[in-house]
Amino acid sequence: MTSRNLYMLRFIFCLCAPIVAVSASAVDTIVVSGQGALPIPVSISGFTGEAEEVIKFDLFVQGFKFTGPEEAQFILTGNNNGSLTARAQDRITKEYKINKTYTDANIRRLAHVFVDDFLQALGRKGLGRSRIAFKTGSGLQSEIAVADFDGANRQVITHDNSIVAAPSWVPGRLALVYMSQKSGPSQILNHDLGSGSRSVVARKPGSNISPVVSPDGSKVALIMDFNGNPDLCVANMDGSGVRQLTKAPMLASSPCWSPKGDTICFAGKKDNRRLLWKISAAGGSPQQISVGGVPNPTEPDWSPDGEWIVFTSQTRSFDICVVPAKGGTATPLVAGEDPSWGPNSRTVIYARRSGDGRRLSMLDVPTKQTKDISRISGSNSQPSWAK
């Protein structure tokens, strides 16, 4: 078990443990209380403007908090006068984790790279160069957009003036699949972001919704109702070889793939109760994933490290919860819906309701720290994080 998985395990199960200080030599071994894991204290000085904003955003959504140098575990100093000079020092051991100058015309990119390098020095994976896709708008006027994970460089990639939904990245490619009703009944499209070309993946009679691409990019899981009920199906990326995996009265929804690509998790009904299930991608009998009594689970997403499933619990409100992938006691984290794991298997992007619309926000699962992606305005939902 990796050190990252160890602190996540303690986050879920060690709810009665006392809070203790984080040792300088083991930043990922965190003992937590019922309020969540301890964020790692860092001090930051010398950076200004956009560089400081990026560094603080990246660190906060990955489990750090900001203090004075006397309380910090790591002291981050530097400047961004043209290039970016950055140092990250362990206050206790005096060891420099990072001490270098980054050169590039894009100071924002340099700030992301610095944080990623710092996290790598701690044995963790950063997010700075990752991308998100999401639905923007609502009702009949929605489109698909993409952006850097912190909301910068937002670009609307569809102009369908119709209902579009559920974007999912094609692993290893600059491409998305999603549902569109531009040409009538719902169909699944494969959209190459480089060329702008689109091809049809699924257009059977009835609904074709909730597509998600397998980790090797060869297949797509989706919900189809050509037999009169919403069933989980798997098809090749060109739409051929459709195979139905579930049947009524299960009423399947919201599929997601395991990182190995051999199993699909989804929401489905039994005795009029919605539950989480998993099934072999080759077919077979669905097996229930216990969520410890958390009601009405849906919208699951499997963490890239294979250890966790994050999902939405729908009651009078919507709550983001997390459960071990093998099932067990689920832990409610924050009000919200549409969760998607980041590549670090720690940070989750989700949508939260705000007035008449929805805002995209980040959640650091161990510490439960949250932060809105303020660079993305308007009503946005159904985020998908490129793994």
How high is the pLDDT of residue 355?
87
Answer whether residue 25 shows pLDDT above 80: no
Domain boundaries, the chain: 39-121, 131-385
Phi first, then psi, for residue 93 (nearest 5°) are -85, -15
- Domain 39-121 -> CATH class: alpha beta
How high is the pLDDT of residue 315?
85
Query: What value does the mean pLDDT take over residues 199-226?
Result: 96
Answer whether residue 23 shows pLDDT above 50: no
pLDDT confidence band for 316 (50 / 70 / 90) = confident
Answer whether residue 28 shows pLDDT above 70: no
Query: What value does the mean pLDDT take over residues 29-36?
Result: 38
Query: What value does the mean pLDDT take over residues 48-62?
Result: 98
Span 104-159, pLDDT tens digits: 889 999 999 999 999 999 999 999 999 999 999 977 789 999 999 999 999 999 99
Distance, CA of 148 to CA of 203 (rounded, Å): 31
Average pLDDT, the chain: 90
Superfamily, domain 131-385: TolB, C-terminal domain (2.120.10.30)
pLDDT confidence band for 36 (50 / 70 / 90) = low
Three-state SS string over the chain comes to: CCHHHHHHHHHHHCCCCCCCCCCCCCCCCCCCECCECCCEEEEEECCCHHHHHHHHHHHHCCCEEECCCCCCCEEEEEECCCCEEEEEEECCCCCEEEEEEECCCCHHHHHHHHHHHHHHHCCCCCCCCCEEEEEEEECCEEEEEEEECCCCCCEECCCCCECEEEEEECCCCCEEEEEECCCCCCEEEEEECCCCCEEEEECCCCCEEEEEECCCCCEEEEEECCCCCCEEEEEECCCCCCEECCCCCCCCEEEEECCCCCEEEEEEEECCEEEEEEEECCCCCCEEECCCCCCCEEEEEECCCCCEEEEEEECCCEEEEEEECCCCCCEEEEECEEEEECCCCCEEEEEEEECCEEEEEEEECCCCEEEECCCCCCCEEEEEECC
How high is the pLDDT of residue 227?
87
Answer whether residue 207 shows pLDDT above 50: yes
Span 229-287, pLDDT tens digits: 999 999 999 999 999 999 989 999 999 999 999 999 999 999 989 999 999 999 999 99
282 or 14: whose pLDDT is higher?
A: 282
How high is the pLDDT of residue 17?
30
Give me the residues paired with residue 200 across strands: 189
Contact assessment for residue 243 and residue 233, using Cβ atoms and an 8 Å cutoff: yes
How high is the pLDDT of residue 293?
82
Percent of the chain with pLDDT over 90: 85
Answer whether residue 26 shows pLDDT above 60: no
Answer whether residue 334 shows pLDDT above 50: yes
From residue 323, alpha-carbon distances to 145, 218, 226, 255, 279 in Å are: 29, 28, 32, 16, 17
Answer whether residue 27 shows pLDDT above 50: no
Percent of the chain with pLDDT over 70: 91
Answer whether residue 22 shows pLDDT above 60: no
pLDDT confidence band for 211 (50 / 70 / 90) = very high
Distance, CA of 224 to CA of 300 (rounded, Å): 18
